[in-house]
Amino acid sequence: MIGRNWLYPDFPAEDDYFLSDFIQRALPEEDIRSDETDQAEDFLSFFIDHADSSSLTPPSDEDRISYGDVEILQSKFFSSFSEFDYSSSFGMIRLTMVKVSTSSMRIYMPNATLICYTLGGEGDVHSNGKTVHCRKYDCVCVDCRQQPNFRAYPGAPWECAFIRVNGAFDSQLFPGLCAYLRENGLAFLTFGAGARFRSIIWDLFGTRESGSMESPPLYNSLLLALFLELDMAVTLAARKPAIIPDVIIGLQNYLDKNYSQDINLDLLARTFSISKYHMAREFKRFIGKSPIDYLIDVRINRAKALLYDSSRPISDICQLVGIPNPNHFLYLFKDREGVTPSAFRKFKL
């Protein structure tokens, strides 16, 4: 626990660790609690052995201690962005590169935003009833008040770059991103190999030799460039539905709300008074997948949320999401998620 921030690994809460001596070097005095000293001595030698002199601010206990199978590869702190961007109310910004295993990691902070960019592997981010599946090049921005949960898929570790922004996420320089996160709590974007966003990520986390540009002004400029890339991406994404025909939007909304019902192309065509062949072609043109594939994705995502948040039997869940045949449900779930529903549930927090 750091100030009012908690990082929940995949073990009981009574196993939380504290290292207040070094927290004082990373947090303002008003965010330090006097009762966080119980276990500091246990980790003093660990901190010394793993200290990273390249960090701009000495790491705290959560920088260097692995939570379950979460391995922290690199961590840096910055506190001068608000001086660089006077329109923001940002506090400390932390850059962290981590490897997440199949053990879940849940993060709660009452006033922080987390940006997660996938560098390798894949995993799920679950927040506020929504689950997004992240592969290489995918980026998730999430409000930490929603207690986002991160879980890697079996196989290779999920390697991520985290940018954690403390303070209210608000700035006049990138208002689209700020407004989107206030309204939705989560943004899901993709930045490929040649994208400027990815280059900025590597500049932020890249190893720099002594005497190079490693300085707070440089990092503040890079962070601003990163936020502007995100702002442009969410603004463009928000405009896309405006050019989608009303009938396609209506189809999406119908599938989102009625996924538990028995739905086929003939039913959709009758409901919306449109040729099913024209409907299927136009839906795929604007949405990127067929109506039935979209429906399956909605059902599987809802099933994942129920697996996370309830102890219902899998046989009940497949009925609730509109796939009454358990064998067919198992096939579809594993085909899309790479694991069975029971294996998926086993690794939840």
Domains annotated for the chain, with CATH where assigned, are 6-240 (2.60.120.10), 244-346 (1.10.10.60)
- Cα separation, 128 vs 107, whole angstroms: 13
| Distances in whole angstroms, Cα of residue 327 to Cα of each of 19, 219, 301 | 50, 52, 18
Spell out the SS3 assignment of 43-59.
HHHHHHHHCCCCCCCCC
Higher-confidence position of 146 and 211:
146
| pTM flag (> 0.85) | no
Count, residues in the chain: 349
- Cα separation, 318 vs 329, whole angstroms: 6
Q: Is 140 within 8 Å of 124 (Cβ atoms)?
A: no
Residue 52 has pLDDT above 50, yes or no: no
Average pLDDT over residues 221-227: 94
**DSSP letters spanning 276-321:** HHHHHHHHHHHHSS-HHHHHHHHHHHHHHHHHHH----HHHHHHHT
Average pLDDT over residues 319-338: 89
Paired strand residues for 67:
70
Could you give the angle at the alpha carbon of 313 between the alpha carbons of 310 and 316, nearest 5°?
A: 100
Higher-confidence position of 52 and 184:
184
Q: What is the DSSP letter of 42?
A: G
Q: Which of 18-22, 26-30, 285-289 has the highest mean pLDDT?
A: 285-289
* Rg for the chain, CA atoms, rounded: 22
Higher-confidence position of 285 and 39:
285
Edge to edge, what strands does the sheet with 93-100 contain?
71-78, 93-100, 158-166, 112-120, 138-143, 186-190
Average pLDDT over residues 196-217: 69
Q: Is 321 within 8 Å of 306 (Cβ atoms)?
A: yes
